[in-house]
Amino acid sequence: MAPSEETLTDTQRSVLEYVQEHLMKDHRPPTVREVMRHFKWNSPQSARKHLLALEEKGYLEREEHTARGLRLSEDSSVGISIPVLGKVAAGLPLLAEENRETTMVVDPSMARGGRSLFALTVRGDSMVNAHILPGDRVIVQQTSHATPGEIVVALIEGEATVKTFRKTSNKVVLEAANPKYDPIVVTQDKDFRIIGKVVGVFSPR
């Protein structure tokens, strides 16, 4: 539902601004109790009342059965929500619900030109010299093509990996940014495809 023309109260506007700031800073929404503590209210019911009003007026949407189920409406210009993927299982479509861990909010400019984005949590130290650390989230533009030298997310035998893409006339090489790891030479017998290229990195630290 698009935000209505109905005027927000001062308190509702303050709550909306807090939710937006929390999403942009932490890339996840606040809980009801975090809203309550921020505004020094004595009961979570006060927070729920104002959040519900923002939902009814189309500024917020909610996913059921989760403490951090708030998200900005799709018409919000403050940020866009993208899926955060866990391990990508063989045989499943990239953005299948089984692969999704949560969502995060990124600046709308990252999706300029109609780019489709997702995030992937990094689970190793092979790209530390490219300033991509374990636990970071890489923001990925979906594409099956990349230019040599770009950092890509590739699927090899159904497993996702983040590496620098290199290519010669007869082979593809995925290069780590850590001398502990040898390059991965992609042979023709491997099930290999590029699923996106890294356009940003978010560190939760």
Active site residues: 126, 163
CB atoms within 10 A of CB 6: 10
- For residue 80, what are its two tokens? 């866009």
Write out the H or E segment, with its range, that includes residue 11: helix 10-26
Rounded distance between C-alpha atoms, residue 200 and residue 36, angstroms: 32
Longest dimension (CA), the chain: 67
Q: Which of 178, 177, 176, 173 is nearest to 190 (CA)?
A: 173
8 A C-beta contact, residue 163 and residue 174: yes
Element (DSSP H or E) covering residue 36: helix 32-38
In eight-state DSSP terms, residue 109 is G
